[in-house]
Amino acid sequence: MKHGDRLVGTSRVIVAAARVANRVFLGGVVLGFALSLVFAGPLGTWVGQTEPGGDVVTGVMGVRLLLLVGVAMGVATDRLLSALRAVVETARSGDPFVAVNARRLQTIGWCLLVQQLLDAPVWLAARLFPALKTETPGLDVSAGGWLAVLMVFVLSRVFAAGTVMRDELAGTV
């Protein structure tokens, strides 16, 4: 087996496992959000214990906001992994330089952008709901993440131009 084949095969397994893990996470977060609505009382008690003397009502709202961010993150990650899986499948079949993969790369870019932007509501939750200050991560601006977004959008354009060139070459004798 060639090195490239092993890489594609390994990527396929990793992406498949990540999709399953993400869907489990997404299901858990959706369930958590539903439970936060159904069991608002116990949630308020838990928030009150976490931050004694804190504002319980805003704390509960903060928990729900974080769960909604988790849902958005999970959906974006699912779209990303689905597109990545499709790209890997075309690489596996030996014909990855097709126009649809340029669009898939663009989808991946948008999903990465959404993931980067979701840092903002998490940071806002920490600011607006002080009762959650020990539970929420800080605003972690990742230069690597933003560069990845830029890189994937640029690569999608390169890919699109490359597939057009390949189509033209296909008719050259």
Binding stretches for other proteins (CB under 8 A): 168, 170-173
CB neighbour list of residue 17: distance below 8 Å, 6 or more residues apart: none
Least CB distance from residue 173 to other proteins, whole Å?
Answer: 5
- Nearest Cα neighbor of 100 from 112, 89, 110 is 89
Q: What sign does the dihedral 8-10-13-17 (CA atoms) show?
A: negative
Least CB distance from residue 163 to other proteins, whole Å?
Answer: 15
Q: Which is nearer to other proteins, 99 or 124 (CB)?
A: 99
Least CB distance from residue 100 to other proteins, whole Å?
Answer: 21
Least CB distance from residue 103 to other proteins, whole Å?
Answer: 24
Q: Which is nearer to other proteins, 143 or 169 (CB)?
A: 169
Q: Which is nearer to other proteins, 4 or 171 (CB)?
A: 171
**From CA 33, how far away is CA 11, in angstroms rounded?**
32
CA distance to 114, 138, 144, per residue, from 89 (Å): 24, 37, 27
Q: Which is nearer to other proteins, 1 or 169 (CB)?
A: 169
Q: How many beta carbons lie within 10 A of that of residue 111, not counting itself?
A: 23
